[in-house]
Amino acid sequence: MFHIGFIKTVLSIMRYVHFICSKILADEVSLGFTQEDNNKFKQALKIRNPKNRLRRIYDACKSTKFCGGGDDPCIQEQQDTDEPVKKRGCCGSMQPNIIVDGMKMVVEFKAPKENDDKEKSSEPVERKQILSAERVLEVLKRIGDEDCLLLGLNPKFARPDWMILQVLPIPPPPVRPSVMMGTSSRSEDDLTHQLAMITRHNKNLRRQERNGTPAHIITEFAQLLQFHIAT
């Protein structure tokens, strides 16, 4: 699940790294970039202050639509697009557009525009998908320690994948004491009520998964749980 305090940071990390291979999009000599972008990236790497460096790396990454990271060709996932993948840069596959909508992350794949005249009539097709926190976690886990450092995150203390909730710490009762209502009845703290909602929806989700419920329904249950966790 997404953590409401980290979702914006997670979004920007997702925009710096390639969706498929998790490498930083910009590269010093990448073919997928203009010379200007490559220079921008080279310049950015020289900046010592992590925050300033990150801003400059973002400048170098934001205009690209193709991955240029690293030397190893990465797995070309075809599930998201059946268009032929254009060979550019090292990995060569496209970088989708990623946005945050409330507590949802949405990924938009744009089919590459063809230069041929005969293709003029066909508009680029957009494919939107809800991006599950699980999928984001996979991308973040694959980010190498070197790239983490470039992004200003010390992998010893702040791995990007730690920003996705896999377990939820529950505060002990003294943090959320029940309150006396009048003389006889007690009422639970708001936190206790909310934690009860979370565990209930978590159990529901687990049960649906066990029963082999269709994916789109699982997504709805997951979003309900996400809502309660954010609350």
Note the residues at the interface with Zn ion (CB under 5 A): 18, 20-21, 67, 74, 91
94/205 with CB nearer Zn ion? 94
Structure-block tokens of residue 63: 């205009």
SS3 label, residue 99:
strand
Least gap, CB of 63 to Zn ion (angstroms): 16
Chain centroid to Cα 122, Å, comes to 30
57/91 with CB nearer Zn ion? 91
Residue nearest to Zn ion (CB): 91
Structure-block tokens of residue 38: 């490559």
Least gap, CB of 198 to Zn ion (angstroms): 35
User: 């990924």: which residue's tokens?
Assistant: 107
Least gap, CB of 139 to Zn ion (angstroms): 11
Least gap, CB of 59 to Zn ion (angstroms): 20
64/132 with CB nearer Zn ion? 64
Chain centroid to Cα 83, Å, comes to 23
74/136 with CB nearer Zn ion? 74
d(CA 112, CA 73): 20
Structure-block tokens of residue 71: 């030397």
